[in-house]
């Protein structure tokens, strides 16, 4: 297993366009998280899946943002009608099933630039 994989690594888009990012977690991990990180800040929690169920959403996740995890495997994060304020690094993380699986493994992130 090569860890958490995110695609693309970089995305430049024009304001108003829609973008979609993909995250492939570690294969046996049932928990998946999305975070957003802006320059000089720590990662901010966006949303959390356990298997295919979206269990928690942050207030940061406006109605322009939607996330899915069909079949409990990979996940996608879509941003509609992008704004310049959406420019950030989007990080995905996964965690194992066991109650003792406390460590979250992070992907390398997708850097979004909205011009």
Partner 1 sequence: AQSVTQLGSHVSVSEGALVLLRCNYSSSVPPYLFWYVQYPNQGLQLLLKYTTGATLVKGINGFEAEFKKSETSFHLTKPSAHMSDAAEYFCAVSGKAGTALIFGKGTTLSVSS
Question: Where do contacts with partner 1 occur on this chain (CB under 8 A)?
Answer: 4, 31, 33, 35, 40-45, 48, 50, 56, 91, 93, 95, 98-109, 111
Please report the sign of the dihedral spanned by the C-alpha atoms of residue 39, residue 13, residue 25, residue 71. Answer: positive
Burial of 10 (0-12, 13-18, 19+ CB in 10 A): exposed
- For residues 65 and 58, give the distance between their C-alpha atoms in angstroms, rounded to a whole number: 11
Least distance from partner 1 to the Cβ atom of residue 106, Å: 4
Least distance from partner 1 to the Cβ atom of residue 109, Å: 5
Least distance from partner 1 to the Cβ atom of residue 71, Å: 20
Please choose, from the candidates 22, 34, 28, 5, the residue with its C-alpha nearest in 3D space to the C-alpha of residue 92: 34
CB-wise, 54 or 80, nearer to partner 1?
A: 54
CB-wise, 79 or 93, nearer to partner 1?
A: 93
CB-wise, 17 or 41, nearer to partner 1?
A: 41
DSSP state of 103: P
Least distance from partner 1 to the Cβ atom of residue 80, Å: 23
């Amino acid at each position: 297993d090569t860890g958490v994989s995110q695609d693309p690594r970089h995305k430049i888009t024009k304001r108003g366009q829609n973008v979609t990012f993909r995250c492939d977690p570690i294969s046996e991990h049932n928990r998946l998280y999305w975070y957003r990180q802006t320059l000089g800040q720590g990662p901010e929690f966006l949303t959390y899946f356990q298997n295919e169920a979206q269990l928690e959403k942050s207030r940061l996740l406006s109605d322009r943002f939607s996330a899915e995890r069909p079949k409990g495997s990979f996940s996608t994060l879509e941003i509609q009608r992008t704004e310049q304020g959406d420019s950030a690094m989007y990080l995905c993380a996964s965690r194992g099933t066991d109650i003792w699986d406390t460590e979250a493994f992070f992907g390398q992130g997708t850097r979004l630039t909205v011009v």
